[in-house]
């Protein structure tokens, strides 16, 4: 029997994620329309809803992924456990759980802990992030990550204080939203099993 609160099994069908719809938002996060992902990220960028997930283990380390080189925005950079965009009308936590399984092969209950609003241009690809980014956290359940190689080039566990040091020393090695997402997650109450 399957748990209806968990995302469905990984799909084997190829999806052009750039054509999927994303919710456009105003300066306070209210939905004002929709457009394809690619259009929202084409310069000058359009403010839209997104989510970022950070998974922590019982020792307090967080799981990072290195974005695949084929990503259209900030490829090959280290980032949070997973991120994406909920389709219009889809609850953020539901969309984030599905994406966590698609990217990292993990099924972990998620809790939203805040929002990080940011704007960042990718100098390498010319695309723009202008996101109302819902931050979700979860506690690692011990299952080994099984990343999709089309999405993830690598992964590693790291202590938040060590990650902050690396972000200061080499900001271009990381996604531009990671530092803000980490601080939102760190300010939240501790995750309990």
Catalytic machinery residues? 83, 131
- For every residue of 40-101, DSSP letters joined together read HHSTT---EEEEEEEEE-TTS-EEEEEEPTT-SSSTT-EE-SEEE-PPTTS-HHHHHHHHHH
The helix/strand/coil state of 106 is coil
Task: Kindly give, in sequence order, each residue whose CB lies less than 8 Å from that of residue 125, ignoring residues fewer than 6 positions away.
Answer: 72, 73, 74, 75
* Number of residues in the chain: 193
How far apart, in whole angstroms, are the C-alpha atoms of residue 47 and residue 167?
25
- DSSP annotation of 174: B
Residue at token pair 């839209």 = 48
Q: In sequence order, what are the beta bridge partners of 51?
A: 84, 134
Longest Cα pair distance anywhere in the chain, in angstroms?
48
């Amino acid at each position: 029997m399957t748990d209806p609160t968990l995302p469905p099994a990984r799909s084997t069908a190829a999806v052009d994620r750039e054509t999927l719809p994303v919710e456009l938002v105003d300066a306070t996060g209210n939905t004002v329309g929709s457009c394809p992902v690619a259009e929202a990220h084409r310069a000058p960028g359009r403010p839209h809803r997104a989510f970022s997930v950070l998974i922590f283990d019982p020792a307090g380390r967080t799981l990072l992924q290195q974005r695949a080189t084929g990503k259209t925005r900030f490829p090959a950079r280290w980032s949070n456990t997973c991120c994406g965009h909920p389709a219009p009308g889809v609850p953020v936590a539901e969309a984030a759980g599905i994406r966590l399984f698609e990217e990292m092969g993990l099924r972990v209950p998620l809790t939203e802990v805040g929002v990080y609003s940011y704007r960042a241009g990718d100098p390498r690809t010319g695309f723009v992030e202008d996101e109302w980014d819902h931050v979700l956290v979860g506690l690692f359940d011990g299952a080994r990550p099984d990343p999709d190689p089309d999405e993830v080039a690598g992964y590693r566990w790291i202590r938040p204080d060590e990650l902050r040091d690396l972000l200061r020393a080499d900001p271009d090695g990381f996604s531009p939203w990671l530092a803000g997402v980490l601080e939102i997650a760190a300010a939240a109450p501790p995750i309990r099993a």
